[in-house]
Structures are given as structure tokens and as C-alpha cells.
Amino acid sequence: MIVDDDYINRKLLIEILKKNLYKVKAIESVDGEDGLQQLHENPDIQLILLDIEMPKIDGIDFLSYYTKYNTRPEIPIIAISSNDTRKKESLEKGADAFLTKPITESHLMKAILGSSH
């Protein structure tokens, strides 16, 4: 699942995933609120790419809710932000990895492969 309020960022991440992984079904969410809803509706989610800076529920609040109420803590979460000062907070709240925008294909794939449980 890709949770990002920026359409272009979501499409870029999907293209990288499709290019590098065998089969990808991407679920897109425009903010943390929608992402939490999608998480409840889609039990087959295997990875979350989470933007930190979003309207409504941001990535940090998403992580707080996820770690407190989630029944599937095995899903790796990669936090993404243009603001690298959010790295420590993201990792403390439960992200498995943190990437700073702009995202490169090699950094994304390394984070995905390194955060798989």
C-alpha cells in the first residue's frame, strides 16, 4: 500500500515496484485516514510505503495508530519524507526504514529488501 497525498509520488513508487518485483497490486491512499481504512479492508497488504507529511492524519499519527491498534504488526513500513528531521521520530513510532525524498530506485529496493520480516 502506498500512502501519499501526492499523485505523482504514488505513481513513481508504483512504477519502481512493478519494475523490480515479480507481481505487484498497489493500493493507493491519499492520506493517513484513508490508509488506515484501506489497511482494515485489505488483509493481504504486505508492505506500506508511508509519506510523513500529509493532510488529515499524517504519517506519524498513522504510525502511532498502527502500532497501538494493529493486529498485523508483521507488515513492514517504510516512512518517506522530504524532511529528514522526521527520521528519528518515524523510526521510534514504528517505521522499519526511512527514506528521504527524492526517492531513488536503488534506495527504495534496498529498504524494501532490508525491512522484509
Q: Is residue 97 part of a domain?
A: no
Contacts with 64 (C-beta within 8 Å, 6 or more apart), sequence order: 93, 94
> What sign does the CA torsion over 96, 39, 82, 22 have?
positive
CB 40 within 8 A of CB 71: no
In a domain, 68, yes or no: yes
Q: Does residue 78 form part of some domain?
A: yes
| Of residues 95, 1, 3, 94, the one with CA closest to residue 42 | 1
Which residue, chain included where needed, has cell 528531521?
A: 85
- Let me know if residue 114 belongs to a domain: no
What pLDDT digit, counting tens, does each position of 18-49 carry? 999 878 899 999 999 999 999 999 989 999 99
Looking at the domain assignment, is residue 98 inside a domain? no
Structural domain includes residue 94: no
- Domain for residue 28, yes or no? yes
Q: Into how many domains does the chain fold? A: 1
Structural domain harbouring 13: 2-83
Q: How does pLDDT run along the chain (117 residues), one tens digit per residue?
A: 999 999 999 999 999 999 998 788 999 999 999 999 999 999 899 999 999 999 989 999 999 999 888 767 789 999 999 988 999 999 999 999 999 998 999 999 999 988 765
Domain membership flag for residue 24: yes
Residue 16 sits in a domain whose CATH number is 3.40.50.2300
